[in-house]
A and B are shown apart, each in its own frame.
Chain A
Amino acid sequence: MKETLAKFLQYKWSQVILFTVFVAVSSAALFFSQKSVTAFLLLLSSLLILHYIKLKNVTKWIIALGLLFILIPFASSGGPAFQSYMDVATMVGIYVSMALGLNIVVGMAGLLDLGFVAFFAVGAYSYSIFATPQAANFMPFGTYPLGGESFWIFLIIGGVVAAIAGVLIGIPVLRVKGDYLAIVTLGFGEIIRILFNNADKPVNITGGAMGIASVTPPEIFGIPLIFPNQFYFVTLVILLFTIFTVLRLERSKLGRSWKAVRENEIAAQAMGIPLVKTKLLAFALGASFSGMMGVVFAAKQAFIDPTSFTLLESFTILVMVVLGGMGSVPGVILGAAVITILNLQVLTELATWVNQLSFGGVISIPEALSPAKMQKFIFGALLVAFALYRPKGLIPAKNKIFDEKKLKESSTHKDFKTTDQKKIQS
C-alpha cells in the first residue's frame, strides 16, 4: 500500500491532482465553516506543498499568485472570522518580509544582528510622525497630518530612512566581528528603542512612552484602507517585491560576495571584495525591507509605541531565520510564517480552548500556564530541538545549480588543448 502510494506520488500529474483536491477541500471547509483555524492553516500550507511539487518554477509562481490573491481571501471571506484571518495573514506577510531582510544580514553575509527590530521601528515612526499632528511640534513648515496618499511615498521613504539608519549603525558596529558584533548590535537596537521612548522632551517628536495614536489610514483613489483585508493586499504586493528582490540579490555578484564574506573574510578580501562596503550594503538592504514593513505596520495598527519594538521582537525575527534555514529564502519564508502563525493563531486558539475547558470544569489550568503565555518557552524548546536535530533549518540553503551543458556549449577548451599539445610536442 505504502509503495503504491509512493509510486503514485512520483508522477507529476498525480501530484497536481492531489494538490488540487487538497486545496479544494481545505478552501471549501474554510468557506463553509463559521470559524476553522485548522482549515485556514491547511489552505496556507498548500503553498508549502506547492513548493515541493514537480512543476516548472513559472507555473508554480502563477499558482501561488492565484492562491494568494484570489483563493485565500475568497475562501476565508465565508465566515465571520474573515477579518481575523486576514489580520493574521497580513502579520505573516510583515514578518516574512522582515525575516527576509534579516536573512540577508545574518544568513547570507553572516553578520549576527540582534537589534534588527530597530529598523522596523525607524520605518514605523517615520510614517506615524508625519501622518499624525505629531510632526507639527517640530516642523516649521507644512501642515500635518499628511493625507493618506502620502503612505505610498512613505513606503519608499521608510525603506530609505531605515537603510540610512543601517549604514549609520553599521559604520561603527562593523569594526567588530562575531560575538562582539552581536552584543554591539543588541546595544544599538535598544538605544534606538530608548531614543524613541524618550524623544518627547524637550521637543515632542515621538510621543515618548505614550506612543503615537490615530495614524492616518492610507488612501488609494480616495478610498481609505482601514480593514485587514485591504492591508492584506498591500502587504502581499510589498512582500512579493521583497521576495523577488531578495532572489535577484542572492543569485547576483553581490549575493556571492556576501556569502564569500561569511565563509572567509580574509580570502574574500584577497579576491578584491571590499569588506566594509559589502557588509554595509547587507545592513542597508536588509534594513530597508524592514523599514518598508514598518510603515505598513504603523498604518495597519494606527497606533505605535516603543513596546512594539523590544528586544524580544529582534529575537523572534532571528528565530524565524534560524528555524527556517539561514541563507535559504524559501526556508526563511516558511520559518517566519510558522512562528507568526504559532504566535498569533495557534497559541491564542489553544488558550481560548483551555479557558473554555476550565470554565466547563473539565480541567483546571491556572492562568499562569495558559499557552498564550508560553511563547518564550516554546521558542526556546523549538530552538533547542532544531539545533539538535535540524541545525540547517526547515528548508536548508541550497547553492544554485549550474547547467554543465549550457556552460560547455561555447567553451573554448580546444585552445587549452592545443597549448597542451604544443608543450607535449616541444
Chain B
Amino acid sequence: MSILEVTNITKKFGGLTANQDVTMNIEKGSITAVIGPNGAGKTTFFNMITGVYQPTSGDIRLEGKSLLGLKPDEVAKRGISRTFQNIRLFGEMSVIENVLVGMHTGLKTNLLGIFLNLPTTKKEELLAEKEAYRLLEHFDLAPFLNEKACNLSYGAQRKLEIARALATKPKLILLDEPAAGMNPAETRELTAIIKNMGQEFNVSVLLIEHDMKLVMEISEHIVVLDHGEKIAEGNPEEIRTNPKVIEAYLGSGAVQTV
C-alpha cells in the first residue's frame, strides 16, 4: 500500500521549470531516496510535498487525501514532518523545548486551560515532557536537555532536528540531506538511526541525500531527478547499473560501493 502518491507534479517559477511531470509512489513503511545532481529540483519537490510551494499542476495525495492548497502547518497536521537542508532549529530554545514544539499538534489544551492551569493541561504537559525526554534518550541527546540548541555540535543538531520531526508523530518523514556535513562516524550512526526509524516510530521515510554509500545502504526504492525530471527509479541495484543515471551523475559513489 502506498502512503504518498505524487502524480505528474510540475512546478514553474516564471520561465524556469523546477519540476516537470514527476510521478512517484512511496510504500508504507519503506525508505525511499530522491537523488540527483545539484539543482535537479529535489528540494523544490520536498517543498511541494510539505506545502511550502503549491505545484503548478499535478496532485499529491497522502493516504488517498489530496494535500493541494494546504499550508505547511496543515500538511504537518496531516502527518508529514520534515528536516531542513540548512539546519533550522529554534536556536535560543533548549534542546527539550525544541522537541516539545514538535509535539505542538499533539497537545490539545486551549487558552482557558493555560490560564487556569487545569489538571488536564498539567497532566498533558508532563506526559509530553516525558515523551520528549524519551525521544532525546533515543537519540543520545538526553544529557543536553537544558542546553540551548544552538550550542550543540553540528552532528547533534542534525539528530535533534530528526528528533523534533519525529515528535510530531508523522506518518511520513522527509529528511533533506540528513548527512550533509557529518563526519564518517556520525554518518554511520545516522544510517543506523534512519534504518530503524520505520520500525521504531512506525513512519515511512523519504530522503534526499548526496552520500551514495548511505543511500545505497538504506533505501529500498530510489528516484533519480535530473533537470527537474524523473530519469529513473528502482531499487539500489537497478539504479546503480542504470546508464541514464550514470550519465547524469558520473555515478562515482555508486560504482565504488559495488
Contact = CB atoms under 8 A, between A and B. Distances in A.
B133 A273 contact: no
A274 B114 CA distance: 18
Contact of A272 (B73, B196, B200): B73
A62 interface: no
A12 to B, nearest CB: 24
Interface in B144-161: 145-146, 148
Contact of A413 (B77, B94, B109, B134): B134
Contacts of A269: 71-73, 76
B105 A263 contact: no
B91 A263 contact: yes
Interface string A285-324: 0000000000000000000000000000000000000000
Contacts of B102: 271
A302 B28 CA distance: 69
A273 B101 CA distance: 9
22 contacts: A248-B117, A252-B121, A256-B93, A266-B72, A267-B84, A270-B50, A270-B73, A271-B101, A271-B165, A273-B101, A274-B74, A397-B92, A399-B93, A399-B146, A400-B94, A402-B96, A402-B129, A404-B145, A410-B130, A413-B134, A416-B138, A419-B199
A272 B168 contact: yes
A268 interface: yes
A223 interface: no
A407 to B, nearest CB: 4
Contacts of A400: 94, 97
Interface in A25-61: none
Contact of B88 (A245, A267, A274): A267
B114 A267 contact: no
Interface in A168-211: none
Interface in B95-140: 96-97, 100-102, 104-105, 107, 109, 111, 114-115, 117, 121, 125, 129-130, 133-134, 137-138
Interface in A239-280: 245, 248-249, 252-254, 256-257, 259-260, 262-264, 266-275
Contact of A257 (B50, B101, B117, B145): B101
A162 to B, nearest CB: 16
Interface centre among B101, B109, B117 (most CB of A within 10 A): B101
Interface centre among B72, B77, B81 (most CB of A within 10 A): B72
Interface residues of B, number: 49
A411 B94 contact: no
A408 interface: yes
Contacts of B196: 419, 423
Interface of B: 50, 52, 71-74, 76-77, 81-82, 84, 88-94, 96-97, 100-102, 104-105, 107, 109, 111, 114-115, 117, 121, 125, 129-130, 133-134, 137-138, 142, 145-146, 148, 164-165, 168, 196, 199-200
A268 B101 CA distance: 8
A272 B111 contact: no
B170 to A, nearest CB: 10
Q: At the interface, is chain B mostly helix, strand, loop or mixed? A: helix
A425 interface: no
Contacts of B81: 270-271
Contacts of A267: 84, 88-90
A270 B91 CA distance: 16
A85 to B, nearest CB: 33
B176 to A, nearest CB: 11
Given A256-B97, A399-B94, A407 B71 contact: no
Interface of A: 245, 248-249, 252-254, 256-257, 259-260, 262-264, 266-275, 281, 397, 399-402, 404, 407-408, 410-413, 416, 419, 423
Contact of B200 (A402, A404, A419): A419
A272 B76 contact: yes
A269 B47 CA distance: 12
B137 to A, nearest CB: 5
B127 to A, nearest CB: 10
A272 B146 contact: no
B145 A399 contact: no
Contacts of A410: 130
The 8 A-B pairs at the shortest CB distance, nearest first, are namely A272-B76, A263-B90, A272-B105, A267-B88, A407-B133, A252-B114, A399-B94, A269-B72
A413 B84 contact: no
A407 B94 contact: no
B99 to A, nearest CB: 10
Given A267-B84, A401-B146, A256 B137 contact: no
Contacts of B109: 252-253
B178 to A, nearest CB: 15
A420 to B, nearest CB: 8
Contact of A259 (B52, B92, B107, B200): B92
A387 to B, nearest CB: 18
A402 B129 CA distance: 9
Contacts of B73: 269-275
Given A252-B114, A399-B93, A400-B94, 19 more contacts: A252-B125, A256-B100, A256-B104, A259-B93, A263-B93, A264-B90, A266-B72, A267-B84, A267-B90, A268-B90, A270-B73, A272-B168, A397-B92, A399-B146, A399-B148, A402-B146, A407-B133, A411-B133, A411-B137
A245 B111 CA distance: 11
A411 B134 contact: yes
A260 B90 contact: yes
Nearest to A245: B115
Contacts of B71: 269, 274
B255 to A, nearest CB: 30
A5 to B, nearest CB: 31
B90 A259 contact: yes
Contacts of A268: 90, 101
Nearest to B150: A263
A270 B72 contact: yes
